[in-house]
A and B are shown apart, each in its own frame.
Chain A
């Protein structure tokens, strides 16, 4: 499939970001890798970070909790509650970071075709205020020199989208 391995990040509207990625595996396998702590620990985290704690109570109303650690020892804590679970196709869950008050609602969808799985995750921010707070905290974390990425944003095809070989 043409888009295998390409992560697409699209700004859908004021409060929603959509992530899309194709995986070269059946969706039952992708679902498993995304919902089992021992498997999640093997892949989740930005470069250099590791998932040191992963707890998942995969049922409606059940909680999940993750702690990521950076190479410098900085920790990022996230947690949430499962709202809908329909294996191996769909999960709706909330997500909050310990260092800010806002909570997002994430809708994960897995579609399978020819033993390849299209992953779509819609991240919904509750309000523009929360979204702005998240953006502001991202800016504080240093990477303000994003002018060189400007061209990438502008070259987006449908909507404000970014693509990367990742």
Chain B
């Protein structure tokens, strides 16, 4: 788990994952859009691999890397728990706040009328 969070902490590695999410790619193919040398990309890939986030494909020539869904599952799950808990709660809070605002407006109007009389 620690390896995974360390791997995800780097923006280049996250960008590589985003690229791999749309399909496997070789080191050469990955180096191009990131304007990085192949050894630099390889270094990032090694970190991602150790963290269990990517694996190597079968093709011995290209050695394409592909995303490993299981690795990210735990992090996704963690954030998803927050999303589920607070997402629904906040929707109800929106309604409550509208109600509170309406009550407040009514009070203001009453105050206004009292001042006039």
Interface residues of A (CB under 8 A from B): 5, 7, 9, 11, 13-14, 17, 19, 21, 23-25, 29-30, 32-33, 39, 42-47, 123, 128, 131-132, 134-135, 138-139, 143-144, 146-147, 149-156, 159-162, 164, 166
Contact = CB atoms under 8 A, between A and B. Distances in A.
Given A23-B94, A128-B1, A138-B81, A153 B101 contact: no
23 contacts: A7-B86, A11-B78, A13-B5, A17-B82, A19-B86, A21-B90, A25-B98, A32-B100, A43-B93, A44-B92, A123-B82, A132-B1, A138-B78, A139-B73, A144-B77, A146-B80, A149-B76, A153-B72, A153-B76, A159-B14, A162-B79, A164-B83, A166-B91
The secondary structure that dominates the B interface is: helix
B87 A164 contact: yes
Contacts of B40: none
B18 interface: yes
B116 interface: no
Nearest to A123: B82
Interface in B62-85: 67, 69, 72-85
Interface residues of B, number: 42
B18 to A, nearest CB: 5
A147 B73 contact: yes
A123 B17 CA distance: 26
Interface in B30-58: none
B2 A153 contact: no
B90 A166 contact: yes
A135 B81 CA distance: 9
